[in-house]
Chain A
């Protein structure tokens, strides 16, 4: 075991020292003398969140299968240790070797949500790496610092954080990292500079090197154009997609944390992408085309992963598990495999119907579990606008079946502030919750009601338009409008006959507004993020550490108008900050969907009828299902 980076006095003082010692089951330790490339793979949030992320486990496994690479993990130190590290000037270290991140070849950061942006700066700062890519050159060919790479869903609009990164990898990591690493080795061997490496990297598919692009703005603040600053740098960058997800990297031995983490189980990703095409959903667009993993592969991995981790639970992961074509076969296999060994099966994102209720009844304790519906909007009209193909009939029928089966708890998820939303739509949220409660009292006779009542929890989040969705042009509400909508929802629920059975929660409005700015921001937002960070903002995703005042001050100081990024209606002709990226669906398709949304017209799902989004260019997945010769 390597010497720990932190002395006992510190580890005994901070909360959960196990976050910082590494040494977990299946953590990979290599002889650093025998590898050429060292990578620190980072999730910029606390250990328990970062360790729950599947993407890092996949890439960690992939990199460590390369003999010449040692990939380690690093997470955000929690606020208590953050303070100590600053006071004592202790450099941030990777868990496996306990050695400084600064000495690695790459620092690869996965960016899963906008509210982690200040934590990215925390990671760079604590690692003693200059925040801005342009400040990392300098002596020795510029190799004094690791190459900082960003990946994950937020890089579909990397512009607000562009200046903090040397390079962004756009799309799925399985495909191009080997080429990038080979290029790196070649450049280091031949004594080329950091900048020359980045110049060459920018020409690899899927790689975006912000320093080789320049943005010009119009007088009204919108983008005039974004151009490469040198010949040979591509004008647009297409995302990378792994088309054969049954024969690619997937961890058979994921790392098993000592402390309880959010996702404390084996995670089996059964498919990528979603056929549904909900118009607010970014994942539903950027992960196209839908690709299923082979059921044989999944069975083999399930068994191996359970054996190698000792976890007592396995969870299927996908955006919409019910759409996986071999779900019954897979679930039957898992029930057989797991029952004997007392392993729990968790099946999130299932549509509630007779099949799923039957399965859930077999694998869960009905008394303890709750049903989840995500209608997202209260009225059918608005559900048509957002293309959420869930009808009131589906919900009431599903709930009725579930109540007959013994369930008594229902969770409902809605969004407030969706495009075209009216007061009527909001009132329908209350009405729908009430109808579900009524179904319970009609279905379950008094003597059979376990807790006497049905428990319905309705939660609302605020709608935030995201890049590469049909709603990317949509205005977003102000904080005041959001709160008004939340109060309206609350009163609508209070007016219901069954209001005592319905509990209502809503999300914080100021965090949503900020997320809206970061999601559709441009390069001018970087200054605000840095300024907020300098004012002490980190862990913005944690409401107890979110300091809206500091952020508002930062906007003020940088002279940035929040409304420009949130409430402003963008015209379909506007050049958007992320237009230089090609996420696989055409802008024309998104425009058509935006127009259909405003008309309240639904689009069938990918399997029902192809909508011509453009993702068929990748030559596989759902686009070619059932066709001969593929």
Chain B
């Protein structure tokens, strides 16, 4: 049976990179005593798929991975066992079963919702929220996107699905829903950089504190986008 696990990554764990999070979960699944399925071959590995890698320094309340289990004693039991194998800053939020044939976590990702705050000393100038919304209201938002070989200009407006801004000073916060699929992943920092640039300034390196609020899949049909959290397609067991 395929199981989808939702977890939060907060506090000091934001400094653990994606590959190390994968290693952490492989060991956690063993510690928890989950009857996980392994691949065939001489060096078998756990059948495990992570949704979207989270950059070092970011926290998240909506990370996902799928595992394949051979037996279980119910979702609540598995959630408790896994949660006991966590460390501070890693928390299991939900465990759901996936129907046979559901796309794996990585392939399911369509969008991610982020909240962006400002580190102490980096708060934006007063009135920033209205200016950001006006910036977002433009029909085209051109940015330079660096690839390994070159820098390409692209319009990111179609990849930003929602954006709101509020608060002043330490309470300033931006929330945005952006494309996070393998074909058009947009990092929230890129949007903020573009805004700063439109303001005629350079975004300082450590200004932003970014949290991924959740990761979404698209259940819409015929091109209508219908975004739901990745665990909404799972069921209790």
Seen from chain A, the residues whose Cβ lies within 8 Å of a Cβ on chain B are: 1, 4, 8-9, 11-12, 17-18, 21-25, 256, 258-260, 306-312, 341-342, 344, 365
- Asked if B87 contacts A259 (CB within 8 A), the reply is no
Q: Which residues of A contact B88 (CB under 8 A)?
A: 1, 23
Q: Which residues of B contact A259 (CB under 8 A)?
A: 20
- Asked if B42 contacts A365 (CB within 8 A), the reply is yes
- Asked if B15 contacts A17 (CB within 8 A), the reply is yes
Q: Which residues of A contact B23 (CB under 8 A)?
A: 258, 260
Produce 1/0 per residue, B1-42, CB < 8 A to A. Answer: 000000000011101110010011011111101000010001
Are A310 and B85 also in contact (CB < 8 A) when A9-B206, A12-B206 are?
Answer: yes
Are A25 and B27 also in contact (CB < 8 A) when A12-B57, A342-B38 are?
Answer: yes
Q: Tell yes or no: B127 within 8 A of A by CB.
A: no
Q: Tell yes or no: B43 within 8 A of A by CB.
A: yes
- Asked if A17 contacts B56 (CB within 8 A), the reply is yes
Beyond A18-B16, A260-B23, 13 extra complex contacts between A and B, CB < 8 Å? A8-B206, A11-B15, A17-B56, A18-B20, A25-B27, A25-B85, A258-B24, A307-B30, A308-B31, A310-B26, A310-B31, A311-B30, A312-B27
- Interface secondary structure of A, over-half rule: loop
Are A23 and B13 also in contact (CB < 8 A) when A12-B57, A258-B24 are?
Answer: yes
- Asked if A309 contacts B87 (CB within 8 A), the reply is no
Closest 7 CB pairs of A and B: A310-B27, A310-B30, A310-B31, A17-B15, A21-B12, A9-B206, A258-B20
- Asked if A8 contacts B87 (CB within 8 A), the reply is no
- Asked if B31 contacts A309 (CB within 8 A), the reply is yes
Q: Tell yes or no: B187 within 8 A of A by CB.
A: no
Q: Tell yes or no: B145 within 8 A of A by CB.
A: no
How many of chain B's residues have a CB under 8 angstroms from any CB in A? Answer: 30
- Asked if A365 contacts B43 (CB within 8 A), the reply is yes
Q: Tell yes or no: B89 within 8 A of A by CB.
A: yes
- Of the candidates A4, A12, A256, A312, which one forms a contact with B12 in the assembled complex, judged by CB atoms under 8 Å apart? A4
A51 to chain B, nearest CB (A): 13
**How far is A12 from B16 in the complex, measured between Cα atoms in Å?**
11
Of A9, A259, A260, most B-chain CB atoms within 10 Å: A259
B100 to chain A, nearest CB (A): 24
- Nearest chain A residue, comparing its CB with the CB of B30: A310
Seen from chain B, the residues whose Cβ lies within 8 Å of a Cβ on chain A are: 11-13, 15-17, 20, 23-24, 26-31, 33, 38, 42-45, 56-57, 85, 87-89, 119, 205-206
- Asked if A307 contacts B87 (CB within 8 A), the reply is no
**How far is A356 from B100 in the complex, measured between Cα atoms in Å?**
45
**How far is A17 from B27 in the complex, measured between Cα atoms in Å?**
20
- Asked if A23 contacts B87 (CB within 8 A), the reply is yes
Q: Which residues of A contact B26 (CB under 8 A)?
A: 310, 312
Q: Could you list some 29 contacts between A and B, CB below 8 A?
A: A1-B88, A8-B119, A9-B205, A9-B206, A12-B15, A12-B56, A12-B57, A12-B206, A17-B15, A18-B15, A21-B12, A22-B12, A23-B88, A25-B27, A25-B85, A258-B16, A258-B20, A258-B23, A259-B20, A306-B30, A307-B30, A308-B31, A310-B26, A310-B29, A312-B26, A312-B27, A312-B30, A342-B44, A342-B45
- Of the candidates B27, B30, B43, which one forms a contact with A341 in the assembled complex, judged by CB atoms under 8 Å apart? B30
Q: Which residues of B contact A341 (CB under 8 A)?
A: 30
A31 to chain B, nearest CB (A): 15
Q: Which residues of A contact B43 (CB under 8 A)?
A: 344, 365
- Nearest chain B residue, comparing its CB with the CB of A29: B88
Q: Which residues of B contact A365 (CB under 8 A)?
A: 42-43
Q: Which residues of A contact B45 (CB under 8 A)?
A: 342
A61 to chain B, nearest CB (A): 17
A159 to chain B, nearest CB (A): 41
B196 to chain A, nearest CB (A): 18
Q: Which residues of A contact B30 (CB under 8 A)?
A: 306-307, 310-312, 341
Q: Which residues of B contact A25 (CB under 8 A)?
A: 27-28, 31, 85, 87
Q: Which residues of B contact A12 (CB under 8 A)?
A: 15, 56-57, 206
**How far is A8 from B17 in the complex, measured between Cα atoms in Å?**
15
Q: Which residues of B contact A344 (CB under 8 A)?
A: 43
A81 to chain B, nearest CB (A): 13
- Of the candidates A8, A309, A312, which one forms a contact with B57 in the assembled complex, judged by CB atoms under 8 Å apart? A8
- Nearest chain B residue, comparing its CB with the CB of A17: B15
- Asked if A1 contacts B31 (CB within 8 A), the reply is no
B152 to chain A, nearest CB (A): 26
A107 to chain B, nearest CB (A): 23
**How far is A23 from B10 in the complex, measured between Cα atoms in Å?**
12
**How far is A344 from B44 in the complex, measured between Cα atoms in Å?**
10
- Of the candidates A17, A23, A311, which one forms a contact with B89 in the assembled complex, judged by CB atoms under 8 Å apart? A23
B44 to chain A, nearest CB (A): 5
Q: Which residues of B contact A24 (CB under 8 A)?
A: 87
Q: Which residues of A contact B17 (CB under 8 A)?
A: 18
- Asked if B12 contacts A23 (CB within 8 A), the reply is yes
- Nearest chain B residue, comparing its CB with the CB of A365: B42
- Asked if B27 contacts A311 (CB within 8 A), the reply is yes
- Nearest chain A residue, comparing its CB with the CB of B86: A25
- Nearest chain B residue, comparing its CB with the CB of A3: B12
B22 to chain A, nearest CB (A): 11
**How far is A297 from B26 in the complex, measured between Cα atoms in Å?**
27
**How far is A260 from B33 in the complex, measured between Cα atoms in Å?**
22
- Nearest chain B residue, comparing its CB with the CB of A11: B15
**How far is A171 from B57 in the complex, measured between Cα atoms in Å?**
43
**How far is A308 from B11 in the complex, measured between Cα atoms in Å?**
23
- Asked if B15 contacts A21 (CB within 8 A), the reply is yes
A362 to chain B, nearest CB (A): 12
Q: Which residues of A contact B11 (CB under 8 A)?
A: 1, 23
**How far is A11 from B85 in the complex, measured between Cα atoms in Å?**
26
Q: Which residues of A contact B28 (CB under 8 A)?
A: 25, 310
Q: Which residues of A contact B38 (CB under 8 A)?
A: 342
- Nearest chain A residue, comparing its CB with the CB of B15: A17
- Nearest chain A residue, comparing its CB with the CB of B25: A310
